[in-house]
Amino acid sequence: MIKTSCSLPDTTIPTLGPARIATPLLHPRYVDESRPLSLVMTSEELAELDNETMLLEFEKAGPRQHLYFDPPKTKCAIVTCGGLCPGINDVIRAIVMESHYHYGVRTVLGIRNGLRGFIPKYRYDLMELTPKSVSNIHQFGGTILGSSRGPQEPTEIVDALERLNISVLFVIGGDGTMRAAKAIMDEVALRRRKISVIGIPKTIDNDINFITRTFGFDTAVEKATEAIQCAHVEATGMDMGVGLVKLMGREAGFIAAQATLAMQEVNFLLVPEQPFALDGENGLLMALERRLLARGHALIVCAEGAGRDLLEEDKRTDPSGNPVLGDICGLLARRAKSHFDSRGLEMTLKFIDPSYIIRSVPANAGDRVYCGFLGQQAVHAAMAGKTGMVVTQVKTSMVHLPLDLVTSKKRFLNIDSDYWSSVMEATGQEVYFGKK
């Protein structure tokens, strides 16, 4: 069933003005903007879809024959915000290399320590980014620019952009950072300045609406599977052994689900999208007992945001405004020990939390290729005068999406989908919960 046009979101990309400058690129495949890209969207990409589909038109990413900015007179800046993620340095490097070698942009500045780097009171120096200074940064995790969390005043940020005579700002960050980028663009528009604001979405949880894949996700899954394998070895190394692995996923369990499919050794997968009970005949503790008595070992993968209804409500938030999560894995470990002690059964649990290791590693080969595409396409969009947008992959195509669209809501696992059905088949957990 295809949704009607009345419910179609607006995918129009703002521009700073007519593009009249001939591109210096000698490229055989310029994008024809008169021919938008039509894609069928499903619930895997859009949070608001259930079993329906939606046909949408997108502006295709890629080089344009005519530019808005004159490259030798254009000054760019890059800022990285929020938590670390594999591939940030790769995106920075791709932007610098594309700007310098293919467009002839002479100045690319790095803003240190996130949006704080724009604010005078923090007294952070700028970093000049050149092909030489970024040539090897893709070999390392993290970000050479540093990062920070928390909002800063858009007026102060735009003041800094004006002082520095910046024409293009590349913003690398998650959904909160993309909302900040939208606020910066609105302030730029209010002042009637010609500054392009281009976002490159960064969230290791892969939970941005409309976006099929965020950079760093593949690397995160790869490293997560290594932790799961270690927990499996620990669990099978003793009788009645349990391995418990905590993975990233505040509100969406994409990493945990994908790693579970990759390993095929997980017996119980706990994600934020699917509530579960601890007690009772169909609760997790009895399911775990049945598994241990039947097979002698068990492996649990738990996304950090799972089971929030089982924890005492914590109204605190972090500097980015995200709720402070309770310790679900600590609760599971305590309750499992208590349950098995009360039943007179022996059980040994080994807990592994690889979260910060996963966040800080360099990108794998697949993510490096993707990060290179993102950096290149971001520069193409900026030089053509696009603004208020992100560059990303939807399905298998690189496209432009307006900031309003990607910040409107988050994407979640659809637990009524073929994908989730495959995950449940891989775990077999419904057998131990008594549901099959």
In the chain, how long is the greatest CA-to-CA distance? 79
Between CA 93 and CA 390 the distance in angstroms is 18
107, 122 Cβ separation under 8 angstroms: no
Please confirm, yes or no, whether 205 is among the known catalytic residues: yes
Between CA 249 and CA 169 the distance in angstroms is 29
DSSP, collapsed to helix, strand or coil, labels residue 150 as coil
Six token digits for residue 226: 């290594």
User: E strands within 6-91?
Assistant: 21-22, 37-41, 54-60, 66-67, 75-80
Helix axes 254-263, 217-236, angle to 10 degrees: 60
Six token digits for residue 254: 């994409």
Six token digits for residue 69: 């900015």
Six token digits for residue 100: 């310098």
305 Cβ neighbours under 8 A, 6+ residues apart: 249, 250, 251, 252, 253, 271, 272, 325, 328
Question: Where does residue 291 rank: exposed (0-12), middle (13-18), buried (19+ CB within 10 A)?
Answer: buried
Q: Which of 175, 205, 207, 367 is catalytic?
A: 205
Cα 237 to Cα 223, 240, 333: the distances in Å are 22, 9, 18
314 CB neighbour count, 10 Å cutoff = 11
Between CA 389 and CA 404 the distance in angstroms is 8
Q: Which of 221, 314, 329 is nearest to 284 (CA)?
A: 329
Between CA 382 and CA 19 the distance in angstroms is 11
Q: Which DSSP category does 238 fall into?
A: S
Question: Where does residue 140 rank: exposed (0-12), middle (13-18), buried (19+ CB within 10 A)?
Answer: middle
* Run of H or E residues at 134: helix 131-134
Which of the residues are catalytic?
205
